[in-house]
Amino acid sequence: MKLKRKGVLGKNATLASLFVGVAILSQLLPGGGAASGQTVASAQAQAAAIAARLNALGAQASRMIQNYDQAEASLSQVNQKIKDTQNQMSGTQSQIASIRVALSQEAIDSYMTGGNLSTLYALFNENPTQAAVRQEFLNTVTNSQADLVASYQAAVQSLHMQQASLKTLQDQAISVLSQATAAKNAVLAAEVQQKAQLASENSLVASLVAQQQAAQAAAAQAAAAQAAAAQAAAAQAAAAQAAILAQQAAARAHIIAASAPSVTPVKPFVGGTYGNPLRSIAGLSPERIDQGVDYHGYGPIYALGNGVVLSVYNSGWPGGTFISYRLTQGPAAGLVVYAAEDIRPQVGLGQSVTPNTVIGTMYEGFAGIETGWASPSLTGETMARTSGQFGGSNSTAYGFNFSQLLRSLGAPGGVLQNNPPTGSLLSGWPVW
């Protein structure tokens, strides 16, 4: 019987689904890494090689099935010819029977007209090869009957020859069909084996992918835990530092409180144009002169003179505080003063101030404070930087000028880092 073509189509569909499975697993795989001794890439390569062999086996199976179908069709044709020949022989045998009946009748007629009984007896025994019967036949039948006998003999001989030839063809067809069946079965068995191996490789790929993903998830979890631990440690360190700073501030306050009787209280500014803005700072300690003048200590900071507040905060400064105000009176009217860094502002934008206005409270911090001349551009820059005088730690002409102003008002001046200071003042700038 013939194999159904849909069997080949089913094989191709199965092969296609296996290829798709490998392709989907390839898309799910991360970029690198190995798992369980065998890499995902090597398992994929093995699965792809098996799939390629399956594809070749599929084509070979199709050819074997076609050969099988051709051999089976050839055998069917031979069998049909044999059947037709047998039908022809049956017809010829019927024809022979008719000839014998005719011959018997002719013999009877011959006897009735003068033939002998022994010839009739021979005819009834149906032995047309005996010499007596042939002689009697020649004496009693017409030439047309002789032709029938000759035709019969030729037909019998031809049928026997055809049967022998068809038997040879039948044997050959059976042999070819047997070989085609064996080849087809061998290819199909190999295909089944390769499919099983491909299924095993795909299972291995899936297992390796799962292991790799699990390892990556574990690594990510460990990294998150490490980051959380580092963050907690940083927070703990910051808390410890804050506690140390609080202890230091408390110690300074205790020292200042202990020495309070020897300190003469600073009176509020009375009279004049400008006043010492640092007159109430406890533990005031001057430091370097750079863009302005740096100080440490804690307490209220006053405005230097009458003016209007231009800014309070600027993220570019340590602590985010940058209080600036434009002076409206005195020799520096129109110029802008700033106080920045470790200060809690106590004024707002546009507020008018006087030498008795507290613009902020200085607290104990890492940076301390810096005060000096600000740029009138309202960008949070100093005159020293906009003039190109400041390089990172050097004393500038504008910082030294503001230190002289504070010294003239009774505050301690800052410490020069280089002498002379870097740069020069604008023409007409006030000096003290």
CATH number for position 385:
2.70.70
Closest CA to 152 of 83, 98, 87: 98
H-helix or E-strand spanning residue 307: strand 307-313
- Give domain status of residue 186, yes or no: yes
pTM assigned to the model: 0.41
pLDDT beyond 90 at 430: yes
pLDDT beyond 60 at 155: yes
- By the 8 A CB rule, do 383 and 337 touch? no
- Give domain status of residue 258, yes or no: no
pLDDT for 238: 67
Q: Which three-class secondary structure state does DSSP give residue 223?
A: helix
* Same domain, residue pair 295 and 215: no
pLDDT beyond 90 at 409: yes
Closest CA to 336 of 379, 397, 390, 280: 379
Closest CA to 307 of 358, 360, 374, 353: 353
Rounded to an integer, what distance in angstroms lies between the CA atom of residue 168 and that of residue 162? 10
pLDDT band at residue 94, thresholds of 50, 70 and 90? Answer: confident
- Give domain status of residue 228, yes or no: no
- Give domain status of residue 34, yes or no: yes
How many C-beta neighbours within 10 Å does residue 233 have? 10
pLDDT for 263: 34
pLDDT band at residue 348, thresholds of 50, 70 and 90? Answer: very high
- Can you tell me the mean pLDDT for 174-195? 86
Please give the residue range of the domain that contains residue 333.
282-408
74 CB-contact burial (10 Å; exposed 0-12 / middle 13-18 / buried 19+):
middle
- By the 8 A CB rule, do 122 and 136 touch? yes
Closest CA to 191 of 41, 63, 4: 63
Q: How many domains does the chain have?
A: 2
Point out the domain boundary residue: 172, 197, 220: 220
Closest CA to 15 of 198, 184, 188: 198
* Same domain, residue pair 65 and 149: yes
* Same domain, residue pair 298 and 214: no
- Give domain status of residue 263, yes or no: no
- Give domain status of residue 414, yes or no: no
- By the 8 A CB rule, do 326 and 310 touch? yes
* Same domain, residue pair 138 and 25: yes
- Give domain status of residue 247, yes or no: no
Residues in the chain: 432
* Same domain, residue pair 149 and 294: no
Point out the domain boundary residue: 220, 249, 267: 220
- Give domain status of residue 245, yes or no: no
pLDDT for 135: 58
